[in-house]
Amino acid sequence: MPHDSAPIPSRRDFLKGVGCLTVGFVLFGANPLLAAPGNPELPGSLQDNPRINAWLEVLADGRVRVLTGKIEIGQGIRTAVAQIAAEELDMPLERVEVVLAETGRTPDERYTAGSASIEQSAMSVRYAAAAARQKLLILAAAQFKTTPGRLTLRDGAVHASTGRQLSFAQLLGGQQLTDEVRLPIQLKPKANYRYVGQSIPRPDIEQMVRAEPYYVQDLRFPGMVHARILRPPSYEGRLASFDTKALQKAVPGVLQVVIDGSFVAVLAEREYDAKLAQDYGRLHARWSGGRKLPADQPLAEHLRSLPAVDKRTTDKGNVDSLATDATLRASYFKPYLMHGSIGPSCAVALFDKNELHVWTHSQGVYPLRDSLAKLLKINPDNVHVKGVPGSGCYGHNGADDVAADAALLARAVPGRHVRVQWSRDDEHAWEPYGSAMLFDMAARLDPKTGRITHWQHELWSDTHSTRPAGSPEKLLAAQYRATPLLPKPEDDFSGGIYRNSEPYYDFPAVRVDTHYVQGPLRVSALRSLGAYGNIFALECFMEELAVKSGQDPYEFRLRHLTDERAKAVIRKVRDMVRSEKLAARQGLGVAFARYKNKAAYCAVVAKVSVAPEEDGATIRVLKIWSAIDAGEVINPDGLRNQTEGGLIQAASWTLNEEVLFNTQQVTTRQWEQYPIFRFDEVPLVEVAVLNRTTEPPLGAGEAAQGPTAAALANAVFHACGKRVRQLPIRPEKLL
C-alpha cells in the first residue's frame, strides 16, 4: 500500500492505457444465446448496442483492450473476459487488456450483480469479438483477392497462405467497424479453444499479495485532502451542537469542518489528523432525536407483526388441505447480516472547473453518476465516475454512500482531491445490511409412496435492494443535510425477496406467499439476496421430511427431481463423501439448489463435530464439499475459487454472524461484537466442477450460499440430534 512518502501515481498513470482494440459490453437485457450460430437472437447487450464500433476499436499497436462496464469484485471478470476476447480474435492473451467500469468511457452496464458477469456480459464479448473477426476476414479477402475461408487471424493481423499479412489497423486505414452485429455469427469451434476452459491465473492476485496499489483504498494524489464523517449515534439523529473552534484548537491539523445540517465532516492534510478530529467529534458533538429500534421484542416476532404487502408468488395446484393434514410444519429465521467488507468503504473525489471526478468501488458507476448529479444539482455530463476495486464487497455495501460523502466535500475544497475513508465503526453501524427473514413451512407426504404431494412456503422479509439507481435520497449523506432528501418506502416488490423460494423439486401442489415488510434497520443487496434464507429454510425442511419418513436424504431429493443436471451434482457430492468416516458427535449434512432456479446447480455436503454439552456444545466445521455445474466453464480455477469463497463465507454467516441492536442503535460495531470466521475456524473445502462444454455458461458466484447454510444445519442435527431453525447456529442454542 502506498504511503504519503512513496511515489504517487498521477490520475493519468492510474487510468492509463490507450492504443489498442476495444471491446465493450452491457450487463442487463435478454438472456444470452447458447454458444452456437443457429440461435434466434443476439445477447441483450448487443441488441442495445448493435454496431461493432460500440464494442471494438482498432488502434495502432495491435493490442486488444476490453472495455467493460462491470467492476472487479473478486469474481475474476477481468481475466475471464480477456480469455474470451483473446479466443475469438486469436490474440495472445498477454496482448489483451481489460478496463473496468468508467462513465463516458465504457458502456452503461448498470450494476455488477446477480452472478451475471459470465452468463450475460462475457457472452456479449464473445459475439462482439466474433463479429469483428468475421468482418476483418471479409475486408482482408477483398484486398488479397481471395475468400475469407483461405485466411486466418493471428497476433492482431490477417494472414494469407501466400505469406502476406495485414494488421487490423492497416485493414481499417484509421477507420472503425460500423456494421451492425447480425446473425448468423460464426463462433470459433470449441475444439480449437486455446484459452477458454483453461485455469489462467489472475495477475491482480499477485498485486494484492505484494500489497501493491490496487484497491480504491490505495489511491493517493498530489495535494490530496483526507476526510472523515461524524455520524449520529442512532438512525435519524440530528446535530444539536458542535464547537468547531474547540475542535480546531484540540486538533490543529484540521483544515476545515463542513457542516450541512446534520451532515458533518472534518478535513485535514494528514489522514491521522482527520482520524483524531473524528474521534474528538464523537466525544463532543451533541445529537438529538433518533428512531427507536424494537429491541424489546424478538426480531422474528417483530417481522411477523409488521404491516405487510402480500403477494402469492407461486401457486400450483391446491394446498388448502395442509391446514388440517400437514405431515410436518416448521418455522425458520435468518437475522440481519453485514457485508463485513475487510476494507471499510472509501472514495476519492475531485471538483475542478465545474466537473466532478469520483473514484469508487461502487457496483454501478452510471447509476451512481446519475444519483450524484441530482444530489449536487449538476449536469450528469459533468460527472465522471471511475470504478476501482474495493477491499471486500459482496453486494451493496457503503461504496455509494462514501462516494456521496466525497462528492459533497470535494466542492468545499475545489481543485484538490478529497479522500473519504470510513472507519470500522462507520462501516459496521451504517452500511445497508442483508435483510432479516422469517419462514413458515408446511408439507404433506403421501403415506404410501413417501413422496411430497403438497408444499407451502410463507415468508416475511424486508426489501433486498435499495441501490441508489439515480435516486439520491437513498444515499446516506442526502438524508442528513440541512434540506434532507428522505427515502420513501420501497414500492417495488423485489423478486430478490422470494428468490429461490419456489422449490426446484417436482411437487404436485406448491404455494409460496410472500409478505414484504419495512424492518427496523437499513438494508440492501447482500450476496445471493433472499436465496440464502429461502434455501436454508427449504433444504432444512426437506431434510426434516426425509428424516421423518425414514428415507435417505440423497435419494429423497433425487426422487423429487426431474432435471438430470440437478441429479448429477447431488450424486457427485455423494460420491465425494462416500468413504468419509464419522466419529462420535460428528455428522454429515447435504443440501442442493439451483441458484434463481435458472443459474448454476450446486450441491453441498458439510461435516461438523459438536462437543458435548458439558464442554460447551461448541461446533467445529471440519470440511465442506461441493459439486457445481455452471455450464460451459471459462476459467475452472476461477469458478472453483468463487465456490470455495462462497462456502466459507456462508459458513461464517450460518454459525457466527448476526447484527444486534438495542433501542438506540446497532451495537455490533467492531469485529469483537460481529465475529466472522478467523483463519483457525476456516474448514477444508473441496469443489468438483462439472464442465458442460456444450451448454451455455451460467451464473455461479452466488450459488453456494443457501445450500451451505442448510447443509451445516443438517450436519449439526445429525451430529447431536438437535435441530436449530434460527440462525446463527451458536453453541448456546444446543444447550
Q: What are 202-236's pLDDT values in tens digits?
A: 988 999 899 899 999 999 999 999 999 999 999 99
Picking from 499, 500, 525, the residue whose alpha carbon sits closest to that of residue 393 is: 525
Average pLDDT score over residue span 279-300: 96
Question: Does residue 678 surpass a pLDDT of 70?
Answer: yes
- Could you tell me if 107 and 199 lie in one domain? yes
pLDDT on residue 183: 86
Q: What is the largest CA-CA distance in the chain?
A: 86
pTM for the model? 0.92
Q: Which three cell numbers stand for residue 611?
A: 462437543
Count Cβ atoms below 10 Å from residue 296 Cβ, excluding itself.
9
- Domain's final residue, options 177, 204, 231: 204
Residue 2 confidence (pLDDT) above 50: no
447 and 512 housed in the same domain: yes
Mean of pLDDT values over 596-600: 96
How far does the chain reach from its first CA to its final CA, in angstroms? 46
* pLDDT digit string, tens, across residues 34-90: 334 444 577 767 777 777 777 777 777 878 888 888 888 888 888 998 999 999 999
% of the chain exceeding 90 in pLDDT: 77
Output the pLDDT for position 372.
Answer: 98
In angstroms, rounded to a whole number, what is the distance separating the alpha carbons of residues 388 and 348? 10
Q: Could you tell me which residues come within 8 angstroms of residue 568 by beta carbon, excluding any fewer than 6 positions away? A: 601, 627, 629, 690
Residue at 95 is within a domain:
yes
- Tell how strand 452-461 and strand 509-517 pair up: parallel
- Percent of the chain surpassing pLDDT 70: 94
- Per-residue buried b or exposed e for 178-188, using 16+ beta carbons within 10 Å of the residue's own CB: eeebeeebebb
φ/ψ of residue 40, rounded to 5: -80, -15
Task: Give the pLDDT confidence score for residue 14 in this predicted structure.
Answer: 37
Position 295 in a domain: no
Cell of 534: 429461502
Grid cell in block for residue 593 = 439448489
354 occurs within a structural domain: yes
Please report whether residue 121 resides in a domain. Answer: yes
Confidence of residue 448 (pLDDT cuts 50, 70, 90): very high
416, 511: one domain: no
In a domain, 88, yes or no: yes
- pLDDT tens figures, 99-108: 889 999 888 8
Q: Are 475 and 468 in contact (CB under 8 A)?
A: yes
Under 8 Å between Cβ of 439 and 514: no
Determine how many CB atoms are found less than 10 A away from the CB of residue 315. 12
61 beta partners? none
My answer on whether 163 and 225 are in the same domain is no
> CA-CA-CA-CA torsion for 484, 487, 488, 493, nearest 10 degrees?
170
Coil/strand/helix, residue 384: strand
**Average pLDDT over every residue of 522-533:** 96
CA–CA distance, 115 with 117 (Å, rounded to integer):
6
Q: Kindly state whether residues 423 and 543 are assigned to the same domain.
A: no
Please report which confidence band the pLDDT of residue 15 belongs to, taking 50, 70 and 90 as the band edges: very low
Asked if residue 6 is part of any domain, the answer here is no
∠56-59-62 over CA atoms, to 5°? 100
3-class SS of residue 400: helix
Which residues, in sequence order, are bridge partners of residue 349?
358, 418
Q: Quote the pLDDT of residue 9.
A: 41
| 424 and 454 co-located in one domain | no
The region of weakest confidence among 123-137, 262-276, 362-376 is 123-137
Find, among 280, 288, 278, 270, the residue nearest to 246 by Cα.
280
β pairing state of 286-289 and 237-241: antiparallel
Reported confidence tier of residue 5, pLDDT bands at 50, 70, 90: very low
- Residue where a domain stops, chosen among 204, 233, 251: 204
Cα 677 from Cα 534, distance rounded (Å): 23
Query: Do 635 and 514 reside in the same domain of the chain?
Result: yes
* Each residue's pLDDT tens digit, 381-427: 999 999 999 998 889 999 999 999 999 999 999 999 999 999 999 99
Domain co-membership, 90 together with 158: yes
Contact 400, 475 (CB under 8 A): yes
Domain boundary among 160, 182, 204: 204
Tell how far CA 245 is from the center of its chain.
43
Contacts of 128 (CB under 8 A, 6+ apart): 23, 24, 25, 46, 52, 55, 56, 181
Query: Which residues 6+ apart lie within 8 Å of 372 measured at CB?
Result: 356, 358, 383, 385, 403, 404, 407, 472
Q: So what's the pLDDT on residue 393?
A: 85
Tell me what percent of the chain is helix, strand and coil, each rounded to the nearest 5: 30, 25, 45
Q: DSSP alpha helices (H): ranges in 145-270?
A: 168-172, 203-209, 244-250
Q: Average the pLDDT over 465-478 and give the result.
A: 94
Same domain, yes or no, for 193 and 240?
A: no
For 541-562, write each residue's pLDDT tens digit.
999 999 999 999 999 999 999 9
Say if 406 falls within a structural domain. yes
Strand 63-68 vs strand 96-99: parallel, antiparallel, or unpaired? Answer: parallel
Same domain, 514 and 595: yes
Q: What are phi and psi of 534, to 5 degrees?
A: -65, -40
Q: Is 152 exposed, middle or buried (0-12, 13-18, 19+ CB in 10 A)?
A: middle
| Residues 243-253, mean pLDDT to the nearest whole number | 96
Contact 521, 659 (CB under 8 A): yes
Residue 117: pLDDT band by 50, 70, 90 thresholds? confident
Beta carbons within 10 angstroms of residue 312's beta carbon: 10
- Side chain identity, residue 722: K
- Residue 320 domain-assigned (yes or no): no
Mean pLDDT, all residues of the chain: 91
Which pLDDT does position 40 carry in this prediction? 57
In whole angstroms, give the CA distance from residue 721 to residue 715: 9
Q: How far apart are CA 163 and CA 144, in angstroms?
A: 11
Task: Quote the DSSP letter at residue 119.
Answer: I
Beta strand 20-25 pairing with 63-68: parallel
- Cβ atoms of 513 and 459 closer than 8 Å: yes
pLDDT at residue 17, rounded to an integer? 35
CATH of the domain at 61: 3.30.365.10
Alpha-carbon span 526 to 461, nearest angstrom: 13
Show the domain range for 243.
Answer: 216-290+339-430
> Of 5-19, 75-89, 198-212, 353-367, which range is least confident?
5-19
> Over 50: is that where the pLDDT of 627 sits?
yes
Of 89-98, 121-130, 240-249, minimum mean pLDDT range: 121-130
Residues 6+ apart with CB under 8 A from 680: none
Whether residue 221 sits in one domain with residue 195: no
How many structural domains compose the chain?
3
For residues 468 and 374, give the distance between their C-alpha atoms in angstroms, rounded to a whole number.
11
**Whether residue 561 is found in the same domain as residue 605:** yes
Backbone angles phi, psi at 441, to 5 degrees: -120, 145
